[in-house]
C-alpha cells in the first residue's frame, strides 16, 4: 500500500458531498483540506503545499476548468482530479485539455476516487527527484544553485526567498510578502520595493546560472516566476538548511 503522507485540497461547493468525501478520505489516511471556492483555495495554497487538487467544475466565481488551467501553469507536477455532474464527452475532453489528470462524474464512489488518488500519487512520486536542486542556507542569506554556485542575498532578498522556499511550487500572494518583509503596517510599505527585489533576485539567478553567457538561458527558465494577479512562485524543488 502507498504511504499517504500527502496533502490534498478539495474544492467543492456542495457542502454535503464535500463533507462526505472529506470524511472518507481522512478515514483512509489522507491529509485533506476542504473549501468551497477558488478564493478559499488560494488562501490555503499560500500556506500549505498540496500534492493533489480535487476540483468541482461548477463552482461559484472561478470555475474548476479555469482553476485547473492556472494550477497546471503554476505547478506542473500537481495531480488534478475533476469532479462534475456533467457526463458529456465534450466536457470531459475540455477538462483533460485544461490540465486535469483525471475526470470523475458525480455521484462519486469514494473507492474509485481513492484508486485515482493512488494512481496519481505513483506518478507524482516518480517525478520527484531524490535530491533537492536548490539549497537555501545560513538563515536564508545564501542561495545555492543546482551546480553549486553560491548567491549571497541581502536582508530583503533573504526574507522574500525564504517565503518562496517555504511554499515552493505554490504561488505566494503579494500581500504575504509585504506582511513578511515589512515591520510596519501594509499601507506604510511601498509595493514597488517588492517588484524591485524580485527583479534583482532574478538577475542574480540569471548571472549564477549563466556565467559569462556560456549557456543559453531565457528568463522563462528561471525558477522564480510571476503569477498574474496573485504574486510569485518558486517552481523547482528547494531545501532549507
Each residue's pLDDT tens digit, 130-158: 556 799 998 889 999 988 899 999 998 99
From the centroid of its chain, how far is CA 1?
Answer: 26
pLDDT at 234: 86
Contact 30, 21 (CB under 8 A): no
Dist. CA 102–CA 234, nearest whole Å:
26
Residue 1 CB coordination number (10 Å):
5
Using alpha carbons, select from 18, 14, 17, 55 the residue that is nearest to residue 38.
55
pLDDT at 11: 96
Structural domains of the chain, with CATH: 7-127 (3.40.50.2300), 134-240 (1.10.10.10)
pLDDT at 52: 93
On the question of pLDDT at 80 being above 50, the answer is: yes
Q: What is the per-residue pLDDT across 202-240, written as a single tens digit (0 to 9) for each?
A: 999 988 887 655 444 445 568 888 877 778 888 888 888
**Cell numbers at 100, concatenated:** 486535469
Q: What is the per-residue pLDDT across 56-68, written as a single tens digit (0 to 9) for each?
A: 998 999 999 899 9
* Whether the model pTM is above 0.85: no
Q: Using 50, 70 and 90 to split pLDDT, how confident is the model at 188? A: low
Whether the CA torsion 99, 101, 104, 110 is positive or negative: it is: negative
Residue whose C-alpha cell reads 501553469 in the numeric block? 73
Dist. CA 241–CA 230, nearest whole Å:
28
Residue whose C-alpha cell reads 534583482 in the numeric block? 200
pLDDT at 93: 66
Q: What is the per-residue pLDDT across 1-26, written as a single tens digit (0 to 9) for each?
A: 455 667 899 999 999 999 999 999 99
pLDDT at 187: 47
Q: Using 50, 70 and 90 to split pLDDT, how confident is the model at 177? A: confident
pLDDT at 183: 52
pLDDT at 157: 92
Amino acid at each position: 500500500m502507498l504511504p499517504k503522507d500527502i496533502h490534498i485540497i478539495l474544492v467543492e461547493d456542495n457542502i454535503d458531498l464535500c463533507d462526505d468525501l472529506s470524511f472518507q478520505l481522512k478515514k483512509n489516511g489522507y491529509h485533506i483540506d476542504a473549501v468551497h471556492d477558488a478564493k478559499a483555495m488560494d488562501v490555503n495554497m499560500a500556506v500549505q503545499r498540496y500534492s493533489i487538487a480535487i476540483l468541482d467544475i461548477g463552482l461559484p466565481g472561478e470555475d474548476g476548468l479555469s482553476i485547473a488551467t492556472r494550477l497546471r501553469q503554476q505547478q506542473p507536477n500537481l495531480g488534478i482530479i475533476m469532479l462534475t455532474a456533467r457526463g458529456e464527452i465534450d466536457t470531459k475532453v475540455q477538462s483533460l485539455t485544461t490540465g486535469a489528470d483525471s475526470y470523475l462524474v458525480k455521484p462519486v464512489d469514494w473507492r474509485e476516487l481513492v484508486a485515482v488518488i493512488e494512481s496519481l500519487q505513483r506518478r507524482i512520486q516518480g517525478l520527484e527527484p531524490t535530491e533537492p536542486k536548490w539549497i537555501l542556507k545560513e538563515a536564508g542569506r545564501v542561495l545555492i544553485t543546482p551546480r553549486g554556485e553560491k548567491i549571497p542575498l541581502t536582508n530583503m532578498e533573504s526574507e522574500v526567498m525564504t517565503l518562496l522556499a517555504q511554499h515552493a511550487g505554490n504561488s505566494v500572494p503579494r500581500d504575504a510578502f509585504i506582511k513578511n518583509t515589512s515591520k510596519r503596517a501594509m499601507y506604510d510599505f511601498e509595493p514597488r520595493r517588492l517588484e524591485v527585489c524580485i527583479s534583482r533576485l532574478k538577475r542574480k539567478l540569471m548571472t549564477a546560472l549563466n556565467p559569462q553567457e556560456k549557456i543559453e538561458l531565457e528568463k522563462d527558465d528561471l525558477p522564480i516566476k510571476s503569477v498574474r494577479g496573485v504574486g510569485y512562485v518558486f517552481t523547482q524543488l528547494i531545501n532549507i538548511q
